[in-house]
Structure 1
Amino acid sequence: MGGLMRRLNFIKNTSRPRRAALGVLVLAAVISVTSGQQLEADAATEYYIGGMAAGFALPAGGAEIVELNSVAGDGETRRPAEEAGMRAGDLICAADGAAIDSIAGLNAALEKCGGKSIRFTVLRDGERLQVSVQPLLDAKTGKWKIGVLIRDTLSGIGTITYIEKGSLHFGALGHGIGEGASPDMTGAKVFACSVIGVNKGTRGRAGELKGLFHHETTIARAELFCGTGLFGTFESGYDLSACRTAEIAPVSEAVIGKAVIYSTVDGRESKPYEIAIAKVDANDRDNKNFVIKVTDEALIAETGGIVQGMSGSPILQNGKLIGAVTHVFLNDPTRGYGISIERMMTGERERR
């Protein structure tokens, strides 16, 4: 993102990730221009205003290498994956041409190899590479290993932007998920989440919320992610009675001046915080239609301004939903970018 701003990616869940002793991919989405007719139809619909933190668990789209380590064989110790050129952050997508989409899939490929070299397909910085690795038989377990610690699920915390009344369709985040998530949303889950702490943002360093998943409480079903956010449907039993409702407004109605964001920075309660819109750019195609500045002293005292985990926080002006927070300026954490709601909702229409 360069040195001046940072996209508000997932913050880490405090629960331990699934591990095995053996991501994150930017999905480029084609975004169509919203038609005036569609925008008028959306504007006539009422939406529950979000602002609540949620925990997302999404398939990684392969076996992501979290850490490289050693394998202790009979009389020798080696680091097969590292020696072959694999790196932490690589996403293992295939073994000898067969797709790998989970920890179990990688284990099966290793068991099948019988000690022969395996040609892996890995995704690194958007490029597919071929890496041949010679497994080593682990002396303790008697299994073939290549010396990697992996995960096949991405988990993190973000903010719900809106829930449509009636259909309960929701949108969150306002940007792509980053490197690693699979476009196949089978098994993707959205959990209730509590914010239990804050690392305050300072000049030159983005802050972040600290969150705790409530794995026993699934609040929604994730169905699609793209370059403008994550979309799905809330559970019908979720209590939205405390949420205010609003209509949406196009970016053409946004003006420089006072506005409000809704965010959760402590516990599970969403609260309004005052901001100012400093710039409006209806034509920006990088999810940066607004430049915003936090003016709420209570939020600045709590977080330093905009922090990771607040991505998706809804922006309201004159009582209407106009967008969502997406980025923070690294040189000034009280300032950031927001996406217009009609641009964000291009993903919602793609989901339908």
Structure 2
Amino acid sequence: MRKVIQTATLFVFLAVSAVMGYVAYLNFEIPDRFYVSSPENFSMTQYEQIEVADAGSSDQEAGTNFSISREADLRLLGVIPVKSAYLNQVGETYVVPCGTPFGLKMLTDGVVIVGLNPVETFTGTAYPADAAGLEQGDIILSVDGEKVASNKELTMLVRESGGEPMDFQVKRDGKELQCTVTPVKSVSDEEYRCGIWVRDSSAGIGTMTFYDPATGIFGGLGHAVCDVDTGEPMPLSSGEVVPAYISGVKKGEKGAPGELQGSFLSSVPSGMLYLNNETGVYGALSSSPSQNEAIPLCYRQDVEEGPAQVLVTVDGQGPQLYDIVIEEVNLGDNTPTKNMILHVTDPELLEATGGIVQGMSGSPVIQNGKLAGAVTHVFVNDPTRGYGIFAENMLDNCQKTQNIVENDRE
């Protein structure tokens, strides 16, 4: 009898441990907030066993993207508490899915240090920038109180320093700090230098994800435009959107990602860029870049594993829909640009590109007639697969962009 009790106790212990472990996993995996059209009908496609035990009736103001927010008690099978989450109620959002190529020209906010190098002087080799504590990736905002917006401006200030110490105001990892740099005279041209390479602009071609006909705001890429040397997002001061077209494709292979090849159609801007951050680039257009009808935006809890389509431009024929499969959905906020694993299954797209290629980032992912997200990355060792971002992760930035545009107009 004692052995039976011991066995039963062990079984109960293991079962409780397993449940507690699963609850801990759900607590980590499930976000702290959701967008919903109706809190009363909230459910998660990915975790159907999670039920809302109570959506608090005390509504509170929760920001500009939604009218009210309710705190909900999420429970496993409606019984075991998992966590509390805010259900942010919004009206259904409609956007135009694009899949169209666009050119972007960016001027940086400050200048980005992309490299440090020695300076040969009359007394030997000097490392003025390194000695001052400057690092690759630092953004130089001002020198001796004067705002720096270009490589040319920085060069002029250093040349005119006469070798006197200069106060550099820089931004590093989101924080501002000061470094004192003492320029030295170069033996090659007898000009004062501080031993840094900087970048003040960037240009390229990407894919537009969606356009909001109600505001004129668009979102694209699904990830930041980053400096090629530092890997950090380019700090945007101003930027333009110009028409572009795709002229060819370099097919992707295992270990060698392919790319869409294209160029600008015109230097006349069709819109302006206002935001470049982790989830993409955002701006305003003078008119819709697509003739497609607006469709509802799909919130993260409604994205499901299974068939979907991607809207891609791979030639001069414009955007076309191709079949894919959403193989995995990650609800967590820890990887905002890698929410889905996508698998290209369409024979036509596989024949044309080999799968996902560079330049396809931002291509809309459509599921059940709704915009679920966009392509962001390709798996280097399997170009038929890659990551995607939830459309709702890009939605917040449209509101931020609209606020910037409205402030500029005032």
In which range does the TM-score fall when normalised by the shorter chain?
Answer: 0.7 to 0.9
Bigger relative contact order (CA 8 A; separation at least 6): 1
In structure 2, the residue matched to 1:309 is 359
2:96 counterpart of 1:48: yes
Whole-Å Cα distance in 1 between the matches of residues 394 and 366 of structure 2? 14
Gaps of 5+ in 1: 1-30
Residue 117 (structure 1) shift? 4.4
1:212-251 → structure 2 map (5 Å cutoff): 212-236=263-287, 240-241=290-291, 243-251=292-300
Alignment match of 1:257 (pick from 290, 298, 306)? 306
Aligned 8 A contact 1:161 1:324 in 2:
yes
1:150-299 → structure 2 map (5 Å cutoff): 150-178=198-226, 179-183=232-236, 185=237, 187-236=238-287, 240-241=290-291, 243-267=292-316, 269-287=318-336, 288-299=338-349
Higher helix share: 2
1:103-182 → structure 2 map (5 Å cutoff): 103-118=151-166, 120=168, 130=179, 132-136=181-185, 143-146=191-194, 148-178=196-226, 179-182=232-235
Residue 321 (structure 1) shift? 1.2
Residue 295 (structure 1) shift? 0.8
SS in 2 for 1:218: coil
Report the residue type matching 2:109 in the other structure.
G
Aligned 8 A contact 2:296 2:370 in 1:
yes
Q: Deviations over 1:37-76 (max 9, x none)?
A: 648755253x221101112222222223456678788x79
Q: Deviations over 1:226-251 (max 9, x none)?
A: 33222221113x5633x343222223
Whole-Å Cα distance in 2 between the matches of residues 338 and 316 of structure 1? 11
Gaps of 5+ in 2: 1-31, 39-65, 67-87, 227-231, 403-410
Whole-Å Cα distance in 2 between the matches of residues 326 and 41 of structure 1? 26
Identity in percent: 34
In structure 2, the residue matched to 1:322 is 372
Relative to 1, partners in 2 of residues 1:147 and 1:210: Cα closer, same or farther, differing over 3 Å? Answer: farther
Query: RMSD between aligned alpha carbons?
Result: 3.4
- Number of positions where the alignment pairs a residue of Structure 1 with one of Structure 2: 315
Aligned 8 A contact 1:195 1:268 in 2:
no
Whole-Å Cα distance in 2 between the matches of residues 53 and 340 of structure 1? 20
Whole-Å Cα distance in 1 between the matches of residues 149 and 169 of structure 2? 12
Relative to 1, partners in 2 of residues 1:349 and 1:167: Cα closer, same or farther, differing over 3 Å? Answer: closer
In structure 1, the residue matched to 2:41 is none
Relative to 1, partners in 2 of residues 1:268 and 1:222: Cα closer, same or farther, differing over 3 Å? Answer: farther
Relative to 1, partners in 2 of residues 1:189 and 1:138: Cα closer, same or farther, differing over 3 Å? Answer: farther
TM-score (norm 2): 0.65
Q: Which moved more, 1:63-72 or 1:145-154?
A: 63-72
Relative to 1, partners in 2 of residues 1:340 and 1:221: Cα closer, same or farther, differing over 3 Å? Answer: same
Report the residue type matching 2:311 in the other structure.
Y
Aligned 8 A contact 2:100 2:289 in 1:
no
Residue 283 (structure 1) shift? 3.3
Residue 345 (structure 1) shift? 0.6
Alignment match of 1:341 (pick from 382, 391, 401)? 391
Residue 223 (structure 1) shift? 2.0
